Structure 1
Amino acid sequence: MINASDNELIEANLSLILAEMKAQPEVAPLYSPDELSYEEQMIQIREFIELAGEYGLAYEYINGTLERFPFKISGNAAVKLLEVGLLMGFKSELNRDKRFDRRSKKAAL
């Protein structure tokens, strides 16, 4: 179970990672015109973190984005992402990531 102090750590970690991603606009041209643009995706992730408190969605979007595009994150940010993953207990809701899901079956639904 995630408590309030975990949420603060998760929010701070996700914000740090997002800041590093936002500092790399050179990745923007690699986005397809058929999907959210780089700018729109950065805004959406920030809203998930800061406005909605949807840390799970932000985490999934960050992971998916880092897997698809050649962002470079620092070792510190990589450790922060790992910390978030350990606290949250999953990687994404995708079938291929079920092996990373250690939430209870009830919480995962």
Structure 2
Amino acid sequence: RKQDLNNRLRSARAEVAIMIQCTYELAVVHAQKIVRRYLARCRLDSIRQAKDEFARFCAALEIQRLARGKLANNLLIELRQQRDCFMATKIQSIARMRQAVWERKRLWGLYFL
């Protein structure tokens, strides 16, 4: 009878140990889930902040691109106007030179003929 009780006690202890082990395994999974959720929340703020910083950086690049494009376009317009003014001055100079040559020829013809 005593031996039987000892065997039952041993098997009960083994079953209790197995139940405790199963409970620990379930508790560990639950604890890991809680810790992972907490770490994900902590990372979420940094991820959102990084995303916002990247969006601001992209917006700043776009603004710079547009501003530099506008400045380059204005410079191009100014350079074209300078070129056109220079060409007009050159054409005027050539036209006046030819008129001067014709006038000189006319005057030479009047004085020496």
Q: Answer yes or no: same fold by TM over 0.5.
A: no
Give the TM-score taking structure 2 as reference length: 0.21
TM-score, normalization: structure 1?
A: 0.21
Q: Relative contact order (alpha carbons < 8 A, sep ≥ 6): 1 or 2 greater? A: 1
Between structures 1 and 2, the one with greater helix share: 2
